[in-house]
Every structure is written in structure tokens, then in C-alpha cells.
């Protein structure tokens, strides 16, 4: 029942993990109470880094991909959680419209879309695919690696303009799996009668990582108080700079100052915990972006002066050619985890408030201080069978799985809660009660 990947981290539980395990009932109750007041995102994946001395989320994805990399045995967990989510938004739903990214579909992404469709079909919904791409003007078949076919169809607004659907397909729920990094298409605007999930302000056209980590600061602080640990144990320090222009080398002072400040803060923390041999580093990345583009590791602010033109170019533009102006600087959290000798980081998946699975992102050519979400990374499913939920502290040692991954699920849910606060606070049209 213990996943073979437990070998990646089979030492004695770290202090943080022990504290989390011991506080399980308090933690679960706190989450239950929190979800009474805040609505979790429809779905979410969180990249974690386990440094041994700290365990922290480094990226919270509100348009999760790679559902096909979750262990298939655990699929029923996703289906059950999706049932709960559908119950909440649209109990009378017949149809779900999924809007994936279809600009450059690769077989792996198509397999992910197919898995998502399977999950929602298994909740008992009719599921069809709509495309934001103007090139899709009629139902277009796409072959899956396993021989099945997906069909993507053009989106259609209803005659009165109030609803979005496909020809002959009027969905109650519209699920975005497209991060809108190229902007919010007009066809998605002013949808009020249907549940558009996540909302458009979760897309990178509007979303900023720094807002997320501001909300996460708060969540981590409360959590630290709850279980009596330094919130830093679960929180990567961060700062942001707007108005950065890498090409023209404008705004680099802000960046340089913040890098220096952050490195000093981390050094202080290292000193506090007696980790004198550790060398701090920060990660610089676009405040509005994903897919591992434009991300660099910096150990000294001087490195910013010495960036080559190639590095500048890389930093200046992210996915879909959108220029980078807002930058987040995040405490670098090294990963102590390896799978078969390659550096690894856990990625945890959630639907509604439930942890439904996860995998290790593994990169054989990257170091422990580098971003792993980059070409060449592989996914190794975690058998979350015994781990997804909560450990069984009362069981005699050896009679229950060690539940190491429970802790991952807790920290991932801290990020989930932060995302719900973030979405509330950045909502351009907040509901007033």
C-alpha cells in the first residue's frame, strides 16, 4: 500500500511533518471552517518544493494540466470530488463545456483533455469541447494516442447573446482549461447565466502570482499560529517589481534591490535555524505567466548586471509572445527529493476542496535549485492510495502506511485556500451580499 516513490523520502519525518501530523484534527477542522467562508477554486494543481527544512508551494495552477499523469487507480477520487463540485454549481446540469488550449495541442495535452472529459462524463454529464481558436470553424476531430478521437467545436453565443455554448449544446457549466495568457477573448465576456469556471480573472491576462503569494502570506501566518511553527517553514518569501523591461534594461534597479533584500532575509532565516552552510538563492519569474518560461535562478544581485542578451531575451517574453513587465522574485527552495537519481518535486492535484492525486515532476538535467517545469521533465504518478487524505496516527507502527504525503496535501491545500482568497480579492465584479 506504500507507493514505491516513498523511497524518495523515506527518512524519519522531519520536524515540520511531525508537527503537521500531530495537529491533523486541528488542521482538518480549520480547513472545514475555512471552506464555510471561502469557495475553493473548481480545480487546482500546486507545485511543491520539499527542502527538508521547509515545504512550500512555488506555483499554484488554476488551469491544471497533466490530469492524465495521476494514477488511474485513483480516478474514482477525482470523479467523486467532481460530483461534489458539480452539485454545488449546477445540480441540474446536463451539459459541461470544456474549453481547452488548442493552439498547439501535443499528444500529452490531448491525453490530459481526454482524461478530464472522462472524469466529467463519469459524473454523469454530457461533455463537449469548445475552442477559442478562430481557426476552428467546424467540428474538428483530433486523434488521441490510444486511438480514440476528440472533437473540438467552435464556440457559439446564443441568439440573445446571453449564453455560451456549441451548436445544439447549451451547457450549465463552462470549464476553462485555457489560462488566457493571450488575453480575454470577447466571446468569454459577460457570461452571467452560466457558471464560467474558473472565472476569467483567474487567467494570466489578469492574474498576478504576487497577489496569490500575498494571500498565501496570510494563510501561512494563520497556519503557523495554528500548529505553532514559523510560517516561513511553509512559505517562500517573495517580492515583486512592475515596469521591468529586460530588453531596454529598464526597471532593473527595483529588481536588483529586491533580490538583495530577499537574499538578505533568507540568509537571516538560514542563520536563525543554524544552516550556515546554505547559500540562499532566488527565482525571478514573470508575475503573470506559466509554463516555465522566462525563469532564472539568481544567487547575487550582481548577476542581473551580467545577464547576456540571450538571457534578457529569454526573460523578456513568455508564452504566446506576451512581453514581461511584472516580475515576481521568490525565495529559492531547493528540493531534497530525487526519483531514480533525478531531481524531483511533488505536484498535488485538487478538485473542489479535495486532494485527488499527484505526481512527482522529475528532471534529470536540472539541479536542486532550478525550476523543473521545463522541457525534458517527466511525470511519475504518486500512488496516493493511502496518502491522499489524512494519516492514521492511532495505528500501530507498521500496520498503516506512513502517510508522508498527507503533509503535501496539507501544504497544497494552504495554496488552494490562498487561491480562493486571491480570487475573491481580485474579482473585478465582486458579488455584494
Choices 21-29, 204-212, 216-224, 238-246; region in contact with a copy of itself by CB under 8 A:
21-29
| Residue 4 makes contact with a copy of itself by CB under 8 A | no
**Residue of 21, 27, 283, 329 that binds a copy of itself (CB under 8 A):** 27
Shortest separation between residue 40's beta carbon and a copy of itself, angstroms = 12
DSSP reduced 3-state for 128? strand
Shortest separation between residue 333's beta carbon and a copy of itself, angstroms = 26
| Structural contact between residues 171 and 97, judged by C-beta atoms closer than 8 angstroms | yes
**Residue of 25, 145, 242, 367 that binds a copy of itself (CB under 8 A):** 25
**Residue of 6, 35, 270, 336 that binds a copy of itself (CB under 8 A):** 35
Q: Pick out residues in 349-368 that bind a copy of itself (CB under 8 A).
A: 354
DSSP reduced 3-state for 408? helix
DSSP of 212-227, one letter per residue?
HHHHHHHHHHHHHHHH
Q: Pick out residues in 372-401 that bind a copy of itself (CB under 8 A).
A: 384-386, 388-396, 399-400
| Residue 246 makes contact with a copy of itself by CB under 8 A | no
**Residue of 148, 158, 250, 340 that binds a copy of itself (CB under 8 A):** 148
Q: Pick out residues in 127-146 that bind a copy of itself (CB under 8 A).
A: 146
Dist CA 69 CA 74 (whole Å): 11
Choices 86-94, 191-199, 263-271, 302-310; region in contact with a copy of itself by CB under 8 A:
86-94
Q: Which cell is 373 given? A: 517545469
Dist CA 288 CA 159 (whole Å): 35
| Residue 192 makes contact with a copy of itself by CB under 8 A | no
Nearest Cα to 142, choosing from 177, 175, 103?
103
Dist CA 316 CA 296 (whole Å): 12
327 Cβ neighbours under 8 A, 6+ residues apart: 240, 241, 242, 244, 255, 284, 285, 286, 287
| Residue 86 makes contact with a copy of itself by CB under 8 A | yes
Dist CA 300 CA 325 (whole Å): 21
Q: Which cell is 44 given? A: 487546482
| Residue 77 makes contact with a copy of itself by CB under 8 A | yes
Going 173 to 174 to 177 to 180, the CA torsion angle's sign is negative
Residues that bind a copy of itself (CB under 8 A): 1, 24-29, 31-33, 35-36, 72-77, 79-81, 83-84, 86-87, 91-94, 117-118, 121-126, 146-148, 354, 384-386, 388-396, 399-400
Amino acid at each position: 500500500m506504500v507507493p514505491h516513490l516513498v523511497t524518495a523520502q523515506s527518512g524519519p519525518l522531519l520536524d515540520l511533518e511531525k508537527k503537521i501530523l500531530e495537529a491533523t484534527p486541528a488542521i482538518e477542522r480549520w480547513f472545514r471552517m475555512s471552506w464555510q467562508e471561502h469557495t475553493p477554486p473548481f480545480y487546482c494543481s500546486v507545485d511543491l518544493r520539499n527542502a527538508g527544512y521547509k515545504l512550500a508551494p512555488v506555483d499554484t495552477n488554476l488551469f491544471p494540466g497533466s490530469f492524465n499523469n495521476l494514477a488511474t487507480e485513483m480516478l474514482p477520487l477525482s470523479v467523486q470530488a467532481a460530483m461534489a463540485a458539480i452539485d454545488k454549481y449546477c445540480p441540474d446540469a446536463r451539459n459541461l463545456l470544456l474549453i481547452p488550449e488548442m493552439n498547439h495541442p501535443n499528444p500529452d495535452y490531448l491525453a490530459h483533455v481526454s482524461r478530464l472529459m472522462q472524469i466529467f462524463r463519469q459524473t454523469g454529464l454530457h461533455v463537449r469541447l469548445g475552442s477559442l481558436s478562430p481557426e476552428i470553424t467546424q467540428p474538428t476531430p483530433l486523434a488521441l494516442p490510444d486511438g480514440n478521437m476528440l472533437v473540438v467545436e467552435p464556440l457559439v453565443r446564443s441568439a440573445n447573446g446571453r449564453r455560451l455554448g456549441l451548436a445544439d449544446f447549451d451547457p450549465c457549466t463552462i470549464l476553462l482549461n485555457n489560462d488566457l495568457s493571450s488575453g480575454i477573448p470577447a466571446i468569454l465576456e459577460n457570461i452571467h447565466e452560466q457558471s464560467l469556471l474558473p472565472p476569467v480573472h483567474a487567467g494570466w491576462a489578469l492574474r498576478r502570482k504576487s497577489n496569490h503569494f500575498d494571500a498565501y502570506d496570510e494563510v501561512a501566518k494563520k497556519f503557523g499560529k495554528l500548529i505553532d511553527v514559523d510560517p516561513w517553514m511553509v512559505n517562500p518569501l517573495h517580492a515583486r517589481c512592475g515596469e521591468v523591461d529586460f530588453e531596454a534594461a529598464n526597471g532593473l534597479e527595483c529588481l536588483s534591490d529586491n533580490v538583495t533584500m530577499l537574499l538578505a532575509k533568507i540568509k537571516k532565516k538560514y542563520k536563525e535555524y543554524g544552516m550556515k552552510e546554505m547559500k540562499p538563492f532566488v527565482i525571478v519569474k514573470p508575475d503573470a505567466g506559466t509554463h516555465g518560461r522566462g525563469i532564472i535562478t539568481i544567487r547575487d544581485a550582481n548577476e542581473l548586471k551580467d545577464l547576456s542578451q540571450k538571457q534578457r531575451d529569454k526573460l523578456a517574453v513568455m508564452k504566446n509572445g506576451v512581453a514581461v513587465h511584472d516580475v515576481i522574485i521568490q525565495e529559492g527552495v531547493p528540493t531534497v527529493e530525487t526519483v531514480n537519481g533525478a531531481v524531483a518535486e511533488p505536484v498535488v492535484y485538487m478538485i473542489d476542496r479535495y486532494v485527488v492525486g499527484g505526481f512527482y515532476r522529475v528532471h534529470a538535467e536540472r539541479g536542486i535549485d532550478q525550476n523543473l517545469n521545463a522541457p525534458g521533465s517527466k511525470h511519475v504518478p504518486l500512488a496516493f492510495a493511502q496518502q491522499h487524505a489524512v494519516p492514521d496516527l492511532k495505528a500501530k507502527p507498521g500496520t498503516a502506511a506512513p502517510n508522508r504525503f498527507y503533509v503535501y496535501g496539507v501544504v497544497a491545500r494552504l495554496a488552494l485556500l490562498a487561491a480562493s482568497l486571491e480570487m475573491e480579492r481580485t474579482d473585478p465584479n465582486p458579488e455584494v451580499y
